[in-house]
Amino acid sequence: MKAGRSAEAAEELEKIVRLQPSFAKAYFDLGVCYTRLGKLGEAIAALQSCVKLEPKFPVGHALLGMLLLDVGRITEARPVLEHALRLDSSQTEAAKGLGCIYNLDGDNAKAIALLRPLAESGAADDESRTILARAFLGIGDSASAVKILEAVLAANPRSPLQTYVLAAMAARDAHDFPKAFEICERAMAVYPNSEQLETLAVSFPPEALRARTAQRLGEIDKNPNNAPALIAVGRMMVAEDKGERGRDLDLGCELLSRATTLDPKNAAAWFHYGRCFKAQIGKADEAEAAFNKALSFVHDDGLRVLILEQVGSMESHFNRVDTADEAFRKSLELNRKLDRHIPESAYHYYRFLALRGRDAEGRPLLDEILRWDPLFAPALLERAKSFLSNGQPERAAVDALLITRNFEDPEILHSAHYLLLRIYHVTGDKSQAQVHTDWLKSHPQTAGEGEPASAP
């Protein structure tokens, strides 16, 4: 149903439920219309009315549970989806959603028990198999996870980015680092603008990373005029440097410089060359020039979002606040039009706003980012801090615990545990406060008291 017809239908259904407030099916249809219109809050309210009137309606419970999951209300979604499956065990969407929640809550064995029969029956789709693979990874069975995910990727090379990320993590945990790198590189061919893939690849053990880099440099020696290869290896070497400003950064910059010479109108080459300059002390002018060069040649909207974000970052560095704001805003407006939003880019604008006390603009943007990706860890952490500041420590704990169970980034984890320590001091739960005190002592960090580094 098109948006226009959904809007008309919603208006008619609103009239019906006002006249017949006990008409459960009308509330269900209204919830469906609201969902198609993107009015998820109203859809949830309509479906809650539906299942209250008709508590044995499995489809109503299933759709309500999935919507609660989509907006990040995980603790509310779990019992709703469990009830939907008790009413009708054939509700596959409810099973997928519940399996996802079990994984998020650390109940991986429950996810396996729920989804393995579906997979063995041949009724599971790629999403179900991916959730099952994550459950196997959660219990330490990386071999089973790799087997499932490799089959998913072979059948659909354009699988979602997170499927590739999970497959690379599974190969890493199985200590098959050549396979992990190969998966990351295949993913970069499909998602060339993903910084998440870079971050994952350079988190692999240094010896494995050096071996793969040496292998790829050897391939470049055989074909030194391959600009895409120069860009691919150069960007990884810049990321591999991790702020140390050492030999990896120098060599990465050299490769990217050669790429811009070989293909001077390649926006990706100039973008990553700009990132290389940005990582160096005293090279802000060169970084700004490279980003502007990239902007003049870019045709891909996803890359344009990232370039505009970096332009905003450089303008902010030079304290040109108005022009920085303009670039960030253009990046956000384009980001909103993408089929796959880039939460990392929008979050950098949120940080720009937050650092300038522009909470009236920043808070709705944070909510929007979490609608794009309810599990985007930096935004979850900011929301948890907000909950705590507003006297809602229980809600803050839900988000912070979600981070500690599902993310690996050391800075994010440190921040989440520090926040949980504060939360349990507020609630007076000394035993839980001690748990997080012990974790922080065993994972020392130099960058502040668990506060995340500011976004670039």
Cα–Cα distance measured from residue 377 to residue 399, given in angstroms and rounded to the nearest whole number? 9
**Residue that the structure tokens 């008619």 belong to:** 12
Torsion sign over Cα 262, 265, 270, 272: negative
> For 248-274, how does the pLDDT look when each residue is reduced to its tens digit (9 = 90+)?
899 999 999 999 999 999 999 999 999
Residues 370 and 386 sit within 8 Å (Cβ to Cβ): no
Burial class of 407 by CB neighbour count within 10 A (0 to 12, 13 to 18, 19+): middle
Residues 67 and 40 sit within 8 Å (Cβ to Cβ): yes
Sequence length of the chain is 456
> Does 451 score more than 50 pLDDT?
no
Cα–Cα distance measured from residue 16 to residue 56, given in angstroms and rounded to the nearest whole number? 22
> For 421-444, how does the pLDDT look when each residue is reduced to its tens digit (9 = 90+)?
999 999 999 999 999 999 999 998
> For 7-18, how does the pLDDT look when each residue is reduced to its tens digit (9 = 90+)?
889 999 999 999
Of 160, 158, 140, 135, nearest in space to 148 by CA = 135
Residues 109 and 139 sit within 8 Å (Cβ to Cβ): yes
> For 358-389, how does the pLDDT look when each residue is reduced to its tens digit (9 = 90+)?
999 999 999 999 999 988 999 999 999 999 99
**C-alpha triplet 204, 205, 209: angle, nearest 5°:** 75
What type of residue sits at position 443? H
> For 164-201, how does the pLDDT look when each residue is reduced to its tens digit (9 = 90+)?
999 999 999 999 999 999 999 999 999 998 989 999 99
Cα–Cα distance measured from residue 221 to residue 77, given in angstroms and rounded to the nearest whole number? 54
> Does 452 score more than 70 pLDDT?
no
**Residues whose CB falls within 8 Å of the CB of residue 360, separated by 6 or more in sequence, listed in order:** none
Residue 450, pLDDT score: 40
Residue 408, pLDDT score: 87
**Residue that the structure tokens 């150069």 belong to:** 234
Cα–Cα distance measured from residue 397 to residue 419, given in angstroms and rounded to the nearest whole number? 8
Of 226, 200, 191, nearest in space to 306 by CA = 191
> Does 299 score more than 90 pLDDT?
yes
190-209 per-residue burial string, b: 16 or more CB within 10 A, e: under 16: ebbbbeebbebbbbbeeebb
Burial class of 358 by CB neighbour count within 10 A (0 to 12, 13 to 18, 19+): middle
Residue 325, pLDDT score: 97
Torsion-angle region of 148 (φ positive above 0: left; ψ -120 to 50: alpha; else: beta): alpha
What type of residue sits at position 78? R
Provide the mean pLDDT of the chain: 92
Residue 143: pLDDT band with limits 50, 70, 90: very high
Residues 26 and 20 sit within 8 Å (Cβ to Cβ): yes
Cα–Cα distance measured from residue 387 to residue 103, given in angstroms and rounded to the nearest whole number? 24
74-106 per-residue burial string, b: 16 or more CB within 10 A, e: under 16: beebbebbbbbbebeeebbbbbbbbbbbbbbbe
Cα–Cα distance measured from residue 223 to residue 233, given in angstroms and rounded to the nearest whole number? 13
Residues 121 and 129 sit within 8 Å (Cβ to Cβ): no
Beta strand segments in 16-102, E: none
**C-alpha triplet 130, 133, 138: angle, nearest 5°:** 130
Ranking 233-247, 294-308, 310-324 by mean pLDDT, the lowest is: 233-247
**Residues whose CB falls within 8 Å of the CB of residue 1, separated by 6 or more in sequence, listed in order:** 9, 33, 36
Residue 36: pLDDT band with limits 50, 70, 90: very high
Residue 446, pLDDT score: 55
Residue 448: pLDDT band with limits 50, 70, 90: very low
Which is more confidently placed, 451 or 401? 401
> Does 445 score more than 60 pLDDT?
yes
Of 219, 211, 283, nearest in space to 240 by CA = 211
> For 199-212, how does the pLDDT look when each residue is reduced to its tens digit (9 = 90+)?
999 999 999 999 99
Cα–Cα distance measured from residue 298 to residue 88, given in angstroms and rounded to the nearest whole number? 50
Residue 4, pLDDT score: 55
Residues 187 and 165 sit within 8 Å (Cβ to Cβ): yes
Residue 454, pLDDT score: 34
Residue 156: pLDDT band with limits 50, 70, 90: very high
